Structure 1
Amino acid sequence: MTFKYLSVIALALSMLACQSEQSEQGEAMTEQAPQEQQGEMQGQFDQQQAAPQVEVTDEELEEFVDVSTVAQEIQMEAQTDMVTVVEDEGLDVETYNVIAEARYNGQSDEELDVSADDLEKFDSASDRIGEMEEELDEKMAEAIEAEGMDMERFMELNMALQQDQELQQRVQQMMMDSQTNQQQQQQMNPEGS
């Protein structure tokens, strides 16, 4: 499930960037399944605590940030499409999330305060979203490798980023420097924006 793993990347980078635009996009992602993503993040964190330190050059870390940005854009577009699928089935995102969270936590459908019709809509939307996630996995892997990074190394760096505060600070500094450089270029060449 690369999609779910990469959603953690997007959330982590959004938090590190502290940019209002990315924060708004992060909120859109969070609306889709906040409790499910938090549970996945905690589970992955628990599994990764024992992972060894990873050596990362500044050049490789810059490449990782660039690749992550591309992956995040692809994922946000896909999540917008997934919200559309839910709504096309006649279900609101909040109800979808309630059912998804309950099933993720092993609750029975009878414990939920939703109609049988909503459960059918959920199942139909989930089937379509499952197909979309498979396509997204392939698209993300292709995009990451097209940017020049091996998928295995990308995942290794992502895992290290979630655990290593110094690495998080390096990424945050790179993102702030990149944002500053972009702003300076826009100020120097306002017509090129």
Structure 2
Amino acid sequence: MLRSILAGSVALILLLSGSLPALAQTQQTAPQFQQQEAPQIEISQEELQQFAGVVEKLQGIQEESFQGMSEAIQDEGLTTKQFSAILQSQQNPDSEQTTKAGEQELQQFEQARARLAEIQKETQSQMQEVVEDEGLEVQRFNQILAAIRNNPELQQQIQQIIQN
């Protein structure tokens, strides 16, 4: 369970940090959530409690964000599969899997992508607020996340905190 929470949180954090640049054409001016290398750092019990609180709240934000993104794509007249295919063909135009999208599909794609960028910006703001409301700085949250991803003992501690 913890692995799926962490994986989902990491995926959302990476998504919202601009690691998928096709979803956001402009750089965000807000602090970015980024995956960090996992140096050996000291993490207090209080920080573990704060981190666990953040992870639980991020799950709800993540679910809402993914739902909103899916709805935005569908509202523009595309399926998520069509959107993904066009996105992949734009990222890898030389690929054999390149999708030949018509003018209308490309217009729908661009409109959906613009809406996704709006959702991304709002979600990132919500995530930052949650992290800070729990008493952590975004950079410290990322450091703790990186340490937990590479430390089974810390993963167990977080899982116990979340389950209690």
TM-score, normalised relative to structure 2: 0.70
The answer for the alignment partner of 2:72 in structure 1 is 85
The answer for the alignment partner of 1:186 in structure 2 is none
Q: Tell me, in whole angstroms, the C-alpha distance in 2 between the residues paired with 1:59 and 1:170.
A: 12
The answer for the alignment partner of 1:99 in structure 2 is 86
Amino acid at match of 2:101: S
| Contact persistence 1:16–1:172 (CA under 8 A) | no
Q: CA deviation at 1:13?
A: 4.1
The answer for the alignment partner of 2:50 in structure 1 is 63
Would the alpha carbon gap of residues 111 and 16 (structure 1) be closer, same or farther in structure 2, given more than 3 Å must change? closer
Structure 1 runs not aligned, ≥5 long: 1-11, 18-25, 38-43, 179-193
Deviations 1:51-72 (A, max 9, x none): 3112112332121011111122
The answer for the alignment partner of 1:187 in structure 2 is none
The DSSP-based 3-state class of the residue aligned with 2:82 is: helix
Among 111, 122, 128, the alignment partner of 1:124 is 111
User: What is the identity percentage for the equivalent residue pairs of Structure 1 and Structure 2?
Assistant: 31
Q: Tell me, in whole angstroms, the C-alpha distance in 2 between the residues paired with 1:16 and 1:147.
A: 18
Would the alpha carbon gap of residues 77 and 16 (structure 1) be closer, same or farther in structure 2, given more than 3 Å must change? closer
Q: Does 1:141 find its partner at 2:128? A: yes
Q: Does 1:15 find its partner at 2:1? A: no
| Contact persistence 2:86–2:99 (CA under 8 A) | no
Would the alpha carbon gap of residues 134 and 160 (structure 1) be closer, same or farther in structure 2, given more than 3 Å must change? same
Q: Does 1:76 find its partner at 2:63? A: yes
Q: Aligned residues, how many?
A: 142
Worse-superposed segment, 66-75 or 112-121: 112-121
The answer for the alignment partner of 2:101 in structure 1 is 115
Q: CA deviation at 1:169?
A: 2.2
Higher relative contact order (CA 8 A, sep 6+): 2
Q: CA deviation at 1:16?
A: 5.6
The DSSP-based 3-state class of the residue aligned with 2:47 is: helix
Q: CA RMSD in A?
A: 3.2
Q: CA deviation at 1:125?
A: 0.4
Q: Tell me, in whole angstroms, the C-alpha distance in 2 between the residues paired with 1:118 and 1:160.
A: 43
Would the alpha carbon gap of residues 145 and 82 (structure 1) be closer, same or farther in structure 2, given more than 3 Å must change? same
Structure having the higher helix fraction is 1
Q: Which runs of 4+ in 1 moved over 4 A?
A: 108-111
The DSSP-based 3-state class of the residue aligned with 2:40 is: coil
Deviations 1:39-95 (A, max 9, x none): xxxxx87x73xx311211233212101111112211211221111110000000112
Q: Does 1:153 find its partner at 2:140? A: yes
TM-score, normalised relative to structure 1: 0.61
Q: Tell me, in whole angstroms, the C-alpha distance in 1 between the residues paired with 2:56 and 2:97.
A: 40
Q: Tell me, in whole angstroms, the C-alpha distance in 2 between the residues paired with 1:109 and 1:132.
A: 29
Structure 2 runs not aligned, ≥5 long: 21-33
